[in-house]
Amino acid sequence: MVAAGLGIGLLPEIGIPDATPGLVKIRLDEPWVERSLQIVCRDPDALPVAARLLIGELLSTTPIAPPPDKSIP
């Protein structure tokens, strides 16, 4: 939508290529700018062992609020 001139986007800096013709990047350096990350997968129990271990490690070192439900309607 941004490239088509139909809106704006709020993206992490890593998600924006440096040489994107026609787009302007404006850095947000404000106290209200906070980034929330989620782990997304279809079935956590079906993931490979390495992926489950990574998720376990991430969850053990990060304060999180548990989701209300494991599935997305």
- Indicate whether 73 belongs to any domain: no
User: How does pLDDT run across 13-70, given as a tens digit for each residue?
Assistant: 777 777 677 777 778 888 777 777 778 888 888 888 998 898 888 888 766 565 555 5
- Indicate whether 41 belongs to any domain: yes
- Indicate whether 47 belongs to any domain: yes
- Indicate whether 56 belongs to any domain: yes
Confidence of residue 73 (pLDDT cuts 50, 70, 90): very low
pTM of the model as a whole: 0.45
Of 46, 49, 50, 48, nearest to 70 (Cα)? 46
Helix (H, G, I), strand (E, B) or coil at 44: helix
Beta carbons of 39 and 64 less than 8 angstroms apart: no
Number of structural domains in the chain: 1
Of 13, 45, 15, nearest to 29 (Cα)? 13
Helix (H, G, I), strand (E, B) or coil at 73: coil
Looking from the CA of 42 toward its CB, the CA atoms found within 13 Å total: 3
